[in-house]
Amino acid sequence: MEIKPKFGYDQLLFGMKQKDVEAIYGKPNHSFIDDDDNVIFLYNALKARLTFYAEEDFKLGYIIISNPNAILFGEKIIGKNSIESKEFLFKKGLKSFEVESFDSFSNLFNEDYWTILQTEFDEVIKVEIGAIIKNQDEFDWKF
């Protein structure tokens, strides 16, 4: 299952509607509405949390992945050392990261690719990717 920053994850593309996702993966294992009225789908087999933005006609705009088999730029990323992962991603074009640390967690955020590596104890535990904003307030949908 490939993580594709700016595009999506596995067969998912940013901009898909809930019905498009369900046509591929079936009903989610769990779904709910968050505090911003976005629809959230949880798929256990994908180990992914999908966010459909209410303000964007419920298009898929954000994905959180914790699947240990997920591939990013040709390599498994979950479980890798955070420093090695950052160096690897630098070579792939993600040149700068904002780092936010709290408790035992750190988030390494690259705005150009709208990608976050969430780490704990210097190990990548999640990857978060979001649809890119191409203009001031317009998303670059891929579907």
In a domain, 143, yes or no: no
Q: How many angstroms separate the first and last alpha carbons of the chain?
A: 18
In a domain, 100, yes or no: yes
Contact 10, 65 (CB under 8 A): no
pLDDT score of 137: 80
- Round to whole Å and give the CA distance between 6 and 140: 8
Within 68-130, where are the H helices?
82-91
Number of domains in the chain: 1
At residue 84, the 3 state secondary structure works out as helix
The per-residue pLDDT for range 108-128, each reduced to its tens digit, is 999 999 999 999 999 999 999
In a domain, 49, yes or no: yes
Mean pLDDT of the chain: 95
In a domain, 135, yes or no: no
pLDDT score of 119: 96
Its pTM stands at: 0.95
In a domain, 27, yes or no: yes
Q: How far is CA 76 from CA 27, 44, 56, 79, 140, in A?
A: 27, 19, 31, 8, 26
In a domain, 139, yes or no: no
In a domain, 142, yes or no: no
Question: Can you give the residue range of the structural domain that contains 37?
Answer: 2-130
In a domain, 24, yes or no: yes
Q: Consecutive sets of 10 residues in the chain, 143 residues long: mean pLDDT of each?
A: 95 97 98 97 96 97 97 95 91 91 94 94 96 87 93
